[in-house]
Amino acid sequence: MFPYLPHTDEDINNMLDVIGLRSIDDLFSDIPEDIRLKELLKINNPMSELEVSKYMNNIAKKNKSTDELVCFLGAGAYDHYIPSIIKHITSRSEFYTSYTPYQAEISQGTLQAIFEYQSMICELTGMDVSNASLYDGSTATAEGAFMACASTRRNKVAVSRTVSPGTRKVLETYTKYKGIELIEIEEKDGVTDVDDLREKMNKEVACVIIQNPNFFGIIEDVSKVEKITHESKGLLMVNAEPISLAVLKSPGEYGADIVVGEGQSLGNPLNFGGPYLGFISCTKKLMRKLPGRIVGETEDVDGKRGFVLTLQAREQHIRRDKATSNITSNQGLNALTAAIYLSALGKEGLKEVANQCLQKAHYAADSLCKTNKYELRFNKPFFMEFVVKSSIEPEKVNEELLHKNILGGYEIGKDYDKYKDDILVCVTEKRTKGEIDNLVSIMEGIE
Amino acid sequence: MKIMEEYFYTKNHEWVKVEDDTALIGVTDYAQHAMGQIVYVELPEVDDEFNQEDAFSVVESVKAASDIYMPASGSVLEVNEDLEDEPELINEDPYTNYICKIKLSDKTEINNLMNSKEYSSFCDK
């Protein structure tokens, strides 16, 4: 007898009698004998609740989180401040469910929250339409590529090598099984190589994907990329960092057709790598190819404002084979978190966060360069991350920092052979002047 | 239900109005009734080439989205851009509000379409 299984042997036998079977095993008679598991699972013995929580806590203690460490690591996941209001709202039972409630009759609250999220994403990206969200930034990029292929009826996708390596790997996986050809555009001096793009761009390429600020933290000048892309009637997709959009021009303003990105920065914890939040938005012209769910505002028969899922004909349950994507899931709770974060901070608050990231990152970069042991790899404008060329092995630098409870930057040599001496340092608004000065003095002292 | 005499018809309820070696193409009155209120038409692009029976457009109504198939092979000369902003024109007058005009690549293909009488009895079945 297990404490959480209420059925006695007598109950089980009664149920088996009713359906005319003799044993539980009869329920699995359609699974061939030779592939059935005959022995018990090799797992530990059962434990009480108290034992389980002790056991788990002991495992958890082996981890060091950003609570104990001072974090200068970014590269796609960011240690931003999370206002405490978020957990109080998201943990309300009306919201706290793994199920996406979308029946308009009973889910006006959730639908409105998603609608507000979509509206704010559109405002940040400068696009007309956003969906209710996708798994994460990299899958959103892949879904955007499918969208571009569907709407241009082309079968090649170009991605800049300044786009995060993780995102490019996901793109590779997604496109491989759809028969879409993925072309990489070279990186030059930390930005997209425009000459290489010009050479590879033609009327077979559905879209060009760039990241802004890019993987190296650099704010790319997209004007030439936009021109080359649109001259061949391709679509421009920008993978954007949402916090940066508070102080940078929106991708919509510089000609993007699709804007995607990772919304973890918007109030979502680092969560050991997930669950995260993929946002995707596009121009009105492309909205019928947008994957996933879209919430719209409408009126009921009495003229009262209401929220419903809209443009459903795009969706896979209407025309499975013709749908842009067969993903219906959205990251409802993470999208809600983003909506609360953006509402709590407001326009000025978000600008303040972005500005602090910008100022503090530049202060850290200047201070590191003054040590003469590190120099900026690229002479280009950057937002909250920057690449330094280190005179000491990056692994060694990070090891020393970890001894001092500092999570150092990302060793980009892992992904780019030519930058094996380089570290990608990230400075968010959470870092204090004291923490930055401490980082610099430790890094200066490493021999 | 309205049927135009000089037009040709397909079993999927598309109509063709032949003018020399070009043709206007649209959906029939029967089709717009069956689909209900039309909210969006995905138009092909000028110079797109299609074979007979290729899907070349999607008409979306409040009920569903339906593929529209090419009644005869050809390349697109023009599309009816009015439908982009006013897709409901098809409900109002399906025979004036064509979807696109094509240059026919093989006029003999018209012979395997129905004329108005044949189409009328096809719809009555």
pLDDT score recorded for residue A313: 63
A288–B64: do the CB atoms touch at under 8 Å? no
Question: Which whole number is the average pLDDT over A225-239?
Answer: 97
**Range A157-185 average pLDDT:** 96
Contact check, Cβ <8 Å, A319/B65 = yes
CA-based nearest residue to A119, from A338, A275, A355: A338
CA separation for the pair A159, A282 (Å, rounded): 18
- Distance, CA of A102 to CA of A309 (rounded, Å): 7
B2 contact partners, CB below 8 Å, separation of at least 6: B29, B94, B95
Answer for the pair A183, A156: CB distance below 8 angstroms, yes or no.
yes
Hey, what amino acid is at B14? E
Structure tokens at A267: 């109030």
Cα–Cα distance for residue pair A210/A158, rounded to 1 Å: 9
User: Helix (H, G, I), strand (E, B), or coil: what is residue A188?
Assistant: strand
| Alpha-carbon span A120 to A118, nearest angstrom | 5
Q: Are A147 and A328 in contact (CB under 8 A)?
A: no
Does residue A441 sit in helix, strand or coil?
helix
- Closest-approach residue (CA) in chain A for B62: A313
CA distance B13 to B36: 14
Element of type H or E holding A240: strand A235-240
pLDDT at residue A45 in the model: 87
Element housing B40 (H / E) = strand B38-42
**A313 neighbourhood in chain B, CB within 8 Å:** 40, 60, 64-65
Q: Which residues of chain A lie closer than 8 angstroms to B64, CB-CB? A: 313, 318-319
Q: State the DSSP code for B81.
A: T
Q: Is A310 on the interface with B (CB under 8 A)?
A: no
**Closest CA–CA distance from residue A204 to any residue of chain B (Å):** 14
Minimal Cα distance from A285: which residue of B? B84
| CB of A316 closer than 8 Å to CB of A292 | no
Question: What pLDDT score was predicted for residue A1?
Answer: 46
Chain A residue with Cα closest to B60? A313
Instruction: Write out the two tokens for A85.
Output: 């209001």
Rounded-to-integer distance, Cα A167 and Cα A286, Å? 22
Q: Choosing among A284, A318, A320, A324, which should be mutated to test the B contact, i.e. which has the most B CBs within 10 A?
A: A318
Contacts of A314 in chain B (CB under 8 A): 65
A322/B67 touch (CB, cutoff 8 Å), yes or no: yes
Burial of B3 (0-12, 13-18, 19+ CB in 10 A): middle
Among chain A residues, the shortest Cα distance to B66 is held by A319
Q: Report the SS3 class of residue A226.
A: helix
Strand, coil or helix: A332: helix
pLDDT score recorded for residue A318? 63
SS (H, E, C) A337-366: HHHHHHHHHHHHHHHHHHHHHHHHHHHHHH
CB of A203 less than 8 A from some CB of B? no
Contact assessment for residue A148 and residue A205, using Cβ atoms and an 8 Å cutoff: no
- Mean pLDDT, rounded, of chain A: 93
pLDDT at A3: 64
Instruction: For residue range B13-72, list pLDDT tens digits in order.
Output: 999 999 999 999 999 999 999 999 999 999 998 988 999 999 999 998 887 788 999 999
What are the pLDDT digits (tens) for A324-334? 776 767 788 99
pLDDT in tens, A379-409: 999 999 999 999 999 999 999 999 999 999 9
Q: Are A308 and A236 in contact (CB under 8 A)?
A: no
Q: How would you classify residue B67: left for phi > 0, otherwise alpha for psi between -120 and 50, otherwise beta?
A: beta
The B-side interface with A (CB below 8 A) comprises 40, 42, 58, 60, 64-65, 67
| Strand pairing class (A385-390; A374-376) | antiparallel
> Can you give the pLDDT at residue A2?
58
The Cα–Cα gap between A57 and A74 comes to 27
Query: Does B65 sit within 8 Å of A313, measured CB to CB?
Result: yes
pLDDT band at residue A370 using 50, 70 and 90 as cut-offs? very high
Residues of B in contact with A322 (CB under 8 A): 58, 65, 67
Report the C-alpha gap between A26 and A13 in whole angstroms: 12
For residue A275, count CB atoms less than 10 angstroms from its CB and return exposed for 0-12, middle for 13-18, buried for 19 or more.
middle
Q: Is the pLDDT of residue A105 over 90?
A: no
Query: pLDDT band for position A435 (50/70/90)?
Result: very high
Nearest partner of A143 among A272, A264, A311, A316, judged by Cα: A316
Longest CA span, chain B: 37
d(CA A281, CA A300): 27
pLDDT digits (tens, 9 = 90+) for B86-121: 999 999 999 999 999 999 999 999 999 999 999 999
> Chain B within 8 Å of A298 (Cβ-Cβ)?
no
The DSSP output letter for B1 is -
Predicted local distance difference test score (pLDDT) of residue A100: 64
pLDDT (0 to 100) of residue A282: 97
Chain B CB within 8 Å of residue A313 CB: yes
- Give the one of B40, B64, B67 whose C-beta lies nearest to A318's C-beta: B64
CA dihedral defined by A431, A434, A435, A439, rounded to 10 degrees?
A: 130
Per-residue pLDDT tens digits for A283-321: 998 998 898 889 999 999 999 999 998 887 666 566 667
Residue B95 CA: distances (Å) to CA of A150, B28, B92: 29, 7, 9
Q: Nearest CA to CA, how far is B16 from chain A (Å)?
A: 25
pLDDT for the residue A53: 96
Cβ atoms of A153 and A180 closer than 8 Å: no
